Structure formats: C-alpha cells, structure tokens
Structure 1
Amino acid sequence: MSAPSEQGIHPPAANINVAAARRRQRAGEVWREFCANRSGLIGLIILVVVFGLALLAPVLAPQDTLDVTKITAGQNEPPSWANPLGTDPAGRSVLAMLIWGARVSLLVGFSATAVSMVIGTVVGMAAGHFTGWTQASLMRIIDFFLVVPGLVLAIVLSSIIGPGVATIIIAIGITSWAGTARVVRSQTLTVESRAYIERSWALGATNAHIIKKHVLPAVMPLVLANTTLTVGSAVIAESTLSFLGLGDPSSISWGSMLKMALDTGAATGGFWWYVLSPGLAIVGVVLCFTLVGRALESVINPTLRGR
C-alpha cells in the first residue's frame, strides 16, 4: 500500500494558516479604516493617555500626596504652579485625586460593561436562536429590564447589597444588558436566515454547533462596537451612584469627588476647580468612548460611512 501523499497529510494545517492570514489581513483593513476616521482616532489617543495616567498613578501621585496627615498645602487653594488644579477642602491635590479617581471609574466602567456584555450576548443569542416558550420567556425578561429604569434598579440593588465598588459593578452590569441583548438577537435572526445555516441543520448540526461556529463569530464585531458605547454609560452610572453615596467611602472616584464637593459646599463657596475637574473628566472620557464606538460602528457597518 502506498504511503499517503504530503498533500493529504497537511491540509488541516494549511487551512489554519490560510484562515489566520485572512484574519490578520482583515484586522489590518479594520485598523486602516478606523484610522481614516479622525474623530475616532483622536478619541482613542486620548483614552490611551488616560489609561496610562491611571496605570502610573502610584508613580505620578504617590499615596503620601493624599495622606491628610502629611499634607502641607493649604485648604481650597486655587490652581497654581505647585497644584495645577488646586486643592480640596482637606488640602489634597485635585490633580492627584483626579488621577487616582480614573483608576476606580475606569475599573468599574470596564468591569460592569464586561458583565453586561456577557449577559446580553448570551441572552440575545438564545432569544434569537431558540423558539417557543424559551424565546417568549427570554423576550419578556428583556422587555422587563428595558422598561424598568436601570439607574433606579441599580440604586435599589446597591442599597440591598451595601456600598462598595463591587456592588456598583454588579448593579450596573445586571441592569444594563437588555439593550445589548436586543441588538444581538436581531443580528442572530439575520444570521440564522442565511442558506449556510439551513445546510448545517441538514447535515445534522446541533444547537451548540450553530451558536458557537456560526452565530457567535457573526455577532462579536457588533458586540465589540457596542461595548465601547456601553463603557461610557457605565462610567456615568458609576459617577451617579458614587455621587449618591453608594460607592466605597475609602476609594476615590470621579463621582465621589463630586459628592465631596457637594458635601463641602465647593460650588457655592466659589471653589470651582474642585467641581469642574471631575465633571470635565467624566464628560471627556465618555465623549472619547462615544467617538471610538461610532468609528467602530462605521467600520463594521459600511452603510454608516456615508452618513
């Protein structure tokens, strides 16, 4: 019996190499198209700078600069060369607090978004793939979370569980997935109406195979674009919950800075730098996430490029 040919031995490896090359080529095309969107690129650059500052917080602003017992600056000092963004009522540098606050705000934003995306993607694919009572039950659950105000539900959950960063992450993640589920369900229905899905069913494919091999890869680009938009909403929700006193009192975030400014009467006392700095930081980061998300949407959905 003759030995198998080399061509018959290696097709799987060759197919894997071809698929990997196509993925790299597609990734390069997506990056070039994204860079062509100037507003999205600017937003990404600013976000990278903010992430870098947050990661380097222990180096740029050591914890000693926020220790009330070791502070030498005066209380409520206006911006100066020594303190570019002034000081708070305790004499701490607002710039140092802003850098440390970025860590908590971004951590909560990304963690809560991850929870929201996982729940929304799984429920959305299940609601679009299955039929009968399973689909009806999932749709009613999605409709419930769409109708109930997410912030009110997050406040209730935070009040029940107790204040803290983990509480805010859970509250935001559990209450903000319904919109993603709706989008993923629509994409799932579109994918499963195509001819190659019917051929897979005819060849004996299981539900798990259809979802894993066909539906999930098709919805992931849409989920990625939606993630960047959801992070901005999560940052706002974290700031709101921290402003309402549901965050961790021992950690500094942009929302807790606004709460401290309100409690100490910074706005009415004319200490505008203590109110304006965290407010502008929240608006700027959310705007950057929105720009990046819109740019990704235009890359993934070519029909949006001409708008």
Structure 2
Amino acid sequence: MTAETTPPAARAPAGPRQLARQRRRASLVRFWNRYRSHRAGLLGLALLALFALAALTAPLTVGPDVASVTEAPGRPMESPSGDFPLGTDRFGRDLLGLLIWGTRVSLLIGLLAALLSVVIGALVGITAGHFRGVYDTVMMRVTDWFLVMPTLVLAIALATVMSRSLGTIVLAIGVTSWPTTARLVRAQTLAVESRPYIERAKALGGGHRHVMSRHVLPNVMPLVLAQATLIISSSILAEATLAFLGLGDPTVVSWGGLLQEAREAGAVSSGDWWYLVPPGIAIAVVALAFTLCGRAVESVLNPRLGVAR
C-alpha cells in the first residue's frame, strides 16, 4: 500500500518589498557577471582590494607609532636593508610602515572628496534638468565657470585660505571637481524626463520631489557610480599634489606628504630614490586601479560605449 502524495502548498504571492529585493539581487548578479568579463576591471578591483586590506590592517601590522619621530627605530636616510625594506626617512622612521599607514589617509581623502563631488554634481544636474528655465540657465553658467577655471588652482586657493586639515583638503577637492558630473547628470536627466512614464507620473499627481527621487535618481545612479570611480583617482592625485606643495595636514602621514618630506630632505639631489619612488608608485597604481574599475563599470552600465576589454 503506497501513501498518497499530496500536492505542495501554493506559495503566497510575493509582496512589493520582496519583489524589489529580488529585482535588486538579480540586477547585482547581472552586473557582476558582466563586470567579471572585463579583465582590466578585475585587475583594478584586485589592486584596490590589496590597498583596502593594507589600509584596514595598518593599525595591526604597523601601528600608529610608526609615524612617531621620537621613537624612530633607525638612523636617518638609511638605504633599503633587511630591517627596513624601503629604507628610512630623514627622521629614521621605517618608510615601508609609513607607506602602509599613509594608505589610510590617501584612500579616505579620495573617497570622501569623490563623495562630496558626486553629491554636489548630482544635486545640481538633477535639479537643473528637472526645473529648467531660469534656474537651469543660472546653474549651468556657474558650472561653466567652474569648468573653465583650473581645478587645481581653485583647490590650492581654498587650501591656502583655510586651516591645514584633512577636512580642508576634502572640501577643496570636492567643491572644485563636481562640474563634469553635473553636466553629465543634467543631460541624463533631460533624457529621462522626456520619457512617457514621467508624464504619467505627473498626471497622477506626482510632485517634483517624487519625480526626481523615484524616477530620475534611479536612472542616473549608474552614471553617478561610474563617474565616482573616476573622480576618486583624480582626488587622490589632487591630494598628493596639495600635500607635495605643503598645503596638507602636517600631523598626518599620506603619500603626498611623504613626497613633500622627501623634497624637503633633498632626496632628489642626493639620489635617495627609496624616499621618492615608493610613494609615487603607490599613487600611480591606485589611480590606475580606480580608472580601470571606472572604465569597466561604465562599459557594463552602458554597453554602447564599446570600451575595450
């Protein structure tokens, strides 16, 4: 005698939130499947993972005492050796430890400055493309003024008149690098608002806030994300430039600060390459990594660009 099998219970219909989570999960899976086909993007992601790991584990691997001048373990300007793989600086500090510790500051400034830049650019671009008229004209003229002005000169001017701190560097870079994002987001906003479902949303009573937050913002976010990855690399380069010019925070260790100290110590004229080369290579590699990731993200989100893999 065989037991009768009962049909499985019918599943309850998924709610709106569950459907939204399923769509987001499926979108992330599709994004990753496309992203991992870009070998250059994977290389950039691997490099960024190494830098992020070094930054997160720096308090455990080198500790904050590595920046102490009074507790320097070596003699000033020692060449690379077994005890000091990258040599020592003019105070006798381990340059390898300083390089690892400086990763924290350089990446933090790059991320915060890029965040500030894309927030300003997205806000200006979305509002200008949505409201148009006089507001659009005024904001685009302001954007054009920032575009024609040298970004580095504006950042140097702000860093000069304000106190020397990490917040000043972030503010100086962020408020001078947003115009490109604003222009791109405005163009995308105009394209989105010309679609029929925007007219339907307005006809059903959707206000300005609803249209911009529920319809425009989700459509411009991929562009903002791709732009953010590219701005991070330029922000790190700008921070290194400001620190090299002596406009950074002298109380913290960064890659640009190491280059500035090497210049002051006369490493160029004396041929102490270990003081100059490692920070310069670190800046170049992390900027390249963010650029590779940005190009891959842009290619995934907009396949029509046809970026070479």
TM-score range, shorter chain: over 0.9
Residue aligning to 1:83: 84
SS in 2 for 1:251: coil
1:14 aligns with 2:15: yes
SS in 1 for 2:268: coil
**C-alpha separation in 1, matches of 2:294 and 2:73:** 43
Residue aligning to 1:184: 185
Q: Is the 8 A contact 2:233 2:290 kept in 1?
A: yes
Residue aligning to 1:168: 169
**C-alpha separation in 1, matches of 2:136 and 2:58:** 47
Residue aligning to 2:296: 295
Shift of 1:66: 3.3
**C-alpha separation in 1, matches of 2:174 and 2:227:** 14
**C-alpha separation in 2, matches of 1:126 and 1:220:** 14
Q: Please list, as runs of the form range in 1=range in 2, the aligned pairs for 1:254-265 lying within 5 A after superposition.
A: 254-265=255-266
Give deviations 1:25-67, integer Å, cap 9, x for gaps: 1100101111111111111111111111111111111233332
Give deviations 1:73-105, integer Å, cap 9, x for gaps: 222122122111111121111111101111111
**C-alpha separation in 2, matches of 1:198 and 1:215:** 12
Residue aligning to 2:30: 29
Q: Please list, as runs of the form range in 1=range in 2, the aligned pairs for 1:1-307 lying within 5 A after superposition.
A: 14-305=15-306, 307=308
Partner amino acid, structure 2, of 1:45: A
Partner amino acid, structure 2, of 1:15: P
Give deviations 1:193-249, integer Å, cap 9, x for gaps: 111112222222211111011000000111011100000000000001111111111
Q: Is the 8 A contact 1:299 1:305 kept in 2?
A: no
- Aligned residue pairs, count: 298
**C-alpha separation in 1, matches of 2:76 and 2:215:** 60
Shift of 1:306: 5.9
Give deviations 1:89-124, integer Å, cap 9, x for gaps: 211111111011111111111111111111000000
User: Which deviates more from structure 2 when the two are superposed, residues 56-65 or residues 272-281?
Assistant: 56-65
Partner amino acid, structure 1, of 2:295: R
**C-alpha separation in 2, matches of 1:163 and 1:236:** 18
Unaligned ranges ≥5, structure 2: 1-11
**TM-score normalised per structure 1:** 0.94
Shift of 1:16: 2.4
**TM-score normalised per structure 2:** 0.93
Partner amino acid, structure 2, of 1:261: A
Partner amino acid, structure 1, of 2:254: S
Q: Is the 8 A contact 1:54 1:99 kept in 2?
A: yes
**C-alpha separation in 2, matches of 1:87 and 1:44:** 30
SS in 2 for 1:196: helix
Q: Structure 1 pair 100/72, CA: closer, same or farther in 2 (3 Å)?
A: closer
Give deviations 1:163-221, integer Å, cap 9, x for gaps: 11111001111111111000100110110111111222222221111101100000011
**C-alpha separation in 2, matches of 1:306 and 1:73:** 48
**C-alpha separation in 2, matches of 1:66 and 1:147:** 40
Residue aligning to 1:6: none
Q: Is the 8 A contact 1:50 1:102 kept in 2?
A: yes
Q: Is the 8 A contact 1:117 1:180 kept in 2?
A: yes
Q: Is the 8 A contact 1:129 1:189 kept in 2?
A: yes
**C-alpha separation in 1, matches of 2:240 and 2:20:** 43
Shift of 1:274: 0.6
User: Which deviates more from structure 2 when the two are superposed, residues 34-43 or residues 58-67?
Assistant: 58-67
**C-alpha separation in 1, matches of 2:148 and 2:27:** 38
After superposing on structure 2, the runs of 4+ consecutive aligned residues of structure 1 that deviate more than 4 Å are none
Residue aligning to 2:7: none
SS in 1 for 2:116: helix
**C-alpha separation in 1, matches of 2:172 and 2:70:** 35
